[in-house]
């Protein structure tokens, strides 16, 4: 087989890969292990984004790889959902136990999970709350990120995400993020649900005030509105608790889960109480690959690893360690950082707007062997795999320091 150079591969990507993402030319990855990625030239990088928190267990976790091989050896990778198979049943049982919920609807991507939750919320609104047909409203927060399908971008407040993709979905109400009073004011008799991220990750790692989810929960209970937590990015230990809602001791009516649930493979699920999830009957919703035996087996293994390796505790401890390191850098190079925020190992560093944009800083970090991506113009995201070691964090901090040392802030 012909071996292509990184430059040749980039040229092929430019020609045949639709440019719905930008990418640094000449950097083409081939292998991953834990928090380290290797490109086709053999250069190693520290991975400080773990595929937008999809790799909480790191790349190539031996237990996950073994489980994947074992399931492939059984030969059953797909089966119509109209038949039962062993893996889906054990998956939904274990995920229900993991979340303390009753029922699970497996899908493939986070976006599909959010879409599915929207359908459930609407059907629940019509059949259980008595909302007149066609009138259901779902409330979302400004600056959210829930995915890229047409219904989900209909709730986006970022013009690039929805411009030229209309007409958009009706029945969506947008409120500011972080103050429950706006939620209460937006509710009317046709409100079926609120869909909210416990921490807005893609929105720039925005942490709401303590008690926000608790306030939403209380209002939802009082007004008969579903609380749907999009924990696609915050779920499975990322924030230092198993779920972002745990910070407020809140159980939503529905969790939307994805990313880390699959241990590096595409698996998502909508998980909720029996009362809500039971509105879905045979034929109401489906997905050819949703809940396939391979996905279910690796997801079961990912949940086991997350629990056994106590990744929630690791995220909490290592998050504090990493933030302390960032604060040291701030002391040495005052003025470069505007704010450090986040929970666990979901950390945002907002840069001084008088300096370079976060995207340019990411390019410099990458040249020195640290991989991450901005969220919003001036925010660097640091969300390494939760299996990262203190030594690897130190290595990353040294790279960050050397890049920040070069930044000029002109006052
Ligand atoms: N919800 C949240 C909170 C997310 O962060 C993302 C992805 N970044 C999604 C939904 C969409 O997930 P996917 O890309 O798997 O469709």
The answer to the question of residue 397 being in a domain is: yes
pLDDT per residue as tens digits for the range 323-333 = 999 999 999 99
- Whole-number Å distance, alpha carbon 309 to ligand 1 midpoint, is 24
Burial of 361 (0-12, 13-18, 19+ CB in 10 A): buried
Residue of the CA atom closest to atom 1 of ligand 1: 146
CA quadruple 106, 112, 116, 117: dihedral sign: positive
Q: For residues 71 and 218, state if they share a domain.
A: yes
Q: Which domain does 377 fall in, by range?
A: 6-57+310-404
Residues 122 and 78 in one domain: yes
Could you give the residue numbers annotated as active site?
A: 145, 230, 259
Probe target for ligand 1 pocket from 147, 200, 235, 244, with the most ligand atoms within 8 Å of CB: 147
Do 111 and 87 fall into the same domain? yes
Q: Which of 258, 285, 288 is nearest to 271 (CA)?
A: 258
**How distant, in Å, are the alpha carbons of 153, 188, 332, 393 from that of 345?**
27, 37, 23, 11
Q: Of 291, 308, 325, which residue sits at a domain end?
A: 308
The reply to whether 322 and 220 lie within a common domain is no
Closest ligand 1 atom to residue 201 Cα is 5
User: Does 411 fall in a domain?
Assistant: no
Give the atom of ligand 1 at the shortest distance from the alpha carbon of 112: 16
- Read off the DSSP letter of residue 129: I
Q: Is 302 exposed, middle or buried (0-12, 13-18, 19+ CB in 10 A)?
A: buried
Asked, for residue 21, whether it belongs to a domain, the answer is yes
Please indicate, yes or no, whether residues 275 and 327 belong to a single structural domain of this protein.
no
Task: Find out whether the beta carbon of 230 lies less than 6 Å from any atom of ligand 1.
Answer: yes
Closest atom of ligand 1 to 268 CA is 15
CB-based contacts of 315: which residues, under 8 Å, 6+ apart? 237, 238, 239, 240, 344, 345, 386
Domain CATH for 190: 3.40.640.10
CATH of the domain at 353: 3.90.1150.10
Element holding 211 (H helix, E strand): none
**Residue 65 Cα, ligand 1 centroid: separation in angstroms?**
24
In angstroms, what is the span from residue 232 Cα to ligand 1's centroid?
A: 6
Which among 300, 334, 311, 329 is positioned nearest to 383, based on CA atoms?
Answer: 311
pTM for the complete prediction? Answer: 0.98
Question: Which residue puts its alpha carbon closest to atom 13 of ligand 1?
Answer: 110
| Positions in the chain short of pLDDT 50 | none
- Enclosing H/E stretch for 361: helix 358-367
Which domain-ending residue is among 289, 308, 327?
308
CA distances, 332 to each of 232, 336, 339, 400, 411 (Å):
36, 10, 15, 12, 18
**One domain for residues 273 and 133:** yes
């Amino acid at each position: 087989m012909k071996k292509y150079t990184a430059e040749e591969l980039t040229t092929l990507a430019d020609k045949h890969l639709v440019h719905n993402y930008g990418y640094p030319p000449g950097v083409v990855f081939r292998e991953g292990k834990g928090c380290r990625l290797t490109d086709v030239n053999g250069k190693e990088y520290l991975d400080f984004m773990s595929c937008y928190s999809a790799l909480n267990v790191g790349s190539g976790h031996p237990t996950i790889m073994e489980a994947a091989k074992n399931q492939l050896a059984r030969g059953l990778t797909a089966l119509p959902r109209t038949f039962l198979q062993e893996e889906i049943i054990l998956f939904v049982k274990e995920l229900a136990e993991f979340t303390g919920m009753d029922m699970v609807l497996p899908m493939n991507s986070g976006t599909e999970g959010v879409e599915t939750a929207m359908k459930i919320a609407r059907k629940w609104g019509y059949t259980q709350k008595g909302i007149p047909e066609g009138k259901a409203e779902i409330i979302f927060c400004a600056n959210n990120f829930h995915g890229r399908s047409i219904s989900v971008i209909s709730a986006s407040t970022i013009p690039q995400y929805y411009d030229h993709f209309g007409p958009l979905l009706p029945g969506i109400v947008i409120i500011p993020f972080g103050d429950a009073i706006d939620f209460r004011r937006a509710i009317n008799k046709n409100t079926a649900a609120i869909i909210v991220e416990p921490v807005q990750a893609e929105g720039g790692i925005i942490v709401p005030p303590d008690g926000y989810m608790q306030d939403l929960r209380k209002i939802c209970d009082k007004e008969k509105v579903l609380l749907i937590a999009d924990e696609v990015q915050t779920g499975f230990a990322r924030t230092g608790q198993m779920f972002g809602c745990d910070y407020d001791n809140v159980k939503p009516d529905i969790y939307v889960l994805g990313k880390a649930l699959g241990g590096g493979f595409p698996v998502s699920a909508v998980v909720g109480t029996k009362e809500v999830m039971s509105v879905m009957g045979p034929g109401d919703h489906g997905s050819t690959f949703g809940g396939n035996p391979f996905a279910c087996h690796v997801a079961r293994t990912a949940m086991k690893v997350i629990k056994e390796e106590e990744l929630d505790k690791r995220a909490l401890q290592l998050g504090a360690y990493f933030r302390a390191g960032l604060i040291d850098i701030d002391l040495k190079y005052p003025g470069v950082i505007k704010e450090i925020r986040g929970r666990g190992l979901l950390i945002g560093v907002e840069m001084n707007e008088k300096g370079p944009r976060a995207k340019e800083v990411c390019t410099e970090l990458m040249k020195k062997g640290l991989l991450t991506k901005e969220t919003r113009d001036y925010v660097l995201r640091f969300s390494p795999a939760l299996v990262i070691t203190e030594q690897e964090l130190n290595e990353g901090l040294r790279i960050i320091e050397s890049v920040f040392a070069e930044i000029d802030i002109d006052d």
